[in-house]
Structure 1
Amino acid sequence: MSFKEPEPFIEALIFASEKSISAEEIQQVLAELSEEQFSLKAIEELIEQIRQKYLNLNLAIELVQLNGGYQFLTRKEFYPVINQLQIQRSKKKLSQAALETLSIIAYKQPVTKLEIEQIRGVNCDYTVQKLLEKELISIAGKSETVGKPLLYATSGLFMDYFGINSTKDLPQLNELVSESNVIGEQNE
């Protein structure tokens, strides 16, 4: 197969991908189907052309770099209408326990189940199992401590789900503390 115009093929790959797709993955797919070799720089330039095309057309979707790859997402100004649709359709929300467990894993990763339970103060077997099933967390290995318990970390799907590139994009804890949560006077 020959790709005289590779841009539409790259656009199709990004569009069809369930999660963000990296330039390296695109390069591998094109290499499998063509005698021509595309450098990562050439692919990234074509991706930028696609991104500009969607910006210039003023469409409801845009090409976004996410989690080390690229994905088509709805533009931010359409958030209210999409949010309303999600509210109507949301039957599989994360429970409060799941959100608490997921946040502990996100900020402390890699972390053992025992460490999560010590922070939360309750058993978290069921919640961790559900987060694994939803693929929001993954097993990151085994701890070197006694018993070699499993270590848990967030997954790439977690990044996609929350729309961030890395855990560095998570809010810092000092950003989350509001004036209403403080007792007494604050001396700086």
Structure 2
Amino acid sequence: MTDQVTGADEIDDLARRAKAGDRDALESLLAAVRPRTLAICRGVLPYSSDAEDACQEALINVATKIGSWGENGRFTTWLHVVAVNSARSTYRRLKNQAVASDVLPLEKPDPRTTSVIAGTRLDLLEALENLEEDHPQYVEPLLLRDVYGLPYDEIAQQVGAPLGTVKAQIHHGRRIVRPMLRGNE
């Protein structure tokens, strides 16, 4: 496919064909969603090279796990989840490598000097890691709503939960994360 794919309907069509085993459709799909996937990863990871790594991981996951897309929502909503999970996985890997090599800073990053563009705050990533330890059910809905701005109904469809449950999870997640983002004031 040589035409540039831009519309959600076109992407959904490519995804359906790729899920059915059409390799050309899969190649076209991966090319079409790469910029969006990279943007999602950049929204989580502050360094371009890290975001590129996470994007590559996400595209591999899309290619190998496209069969798990339920087709009950937009492919791009499912893609958001895959990309966010890849970015968070890359963050965890990098953090573990830094701990193992003892290169972590002694102090927490200063939120006044840490980038807040598109949710790239390191304190946000740390807060989400802490939230996941005690309340993993809040992480995905909170990320999809507050970092990526997806509508509540799409989030409910993606996570397979009633709309009221999703709204409550986001509310509770915000309440838990908010104090972690304030720093030591």
**TM-score, normalization: structure 2?**
0.29
The structure carrying a bigger helix percent of its residues is 2
The structure carrying a bigger strand percent of its residues is 1
Larger-gyration structure (1/2): 1
**TM-score, normalization: structure 1?**
0.28
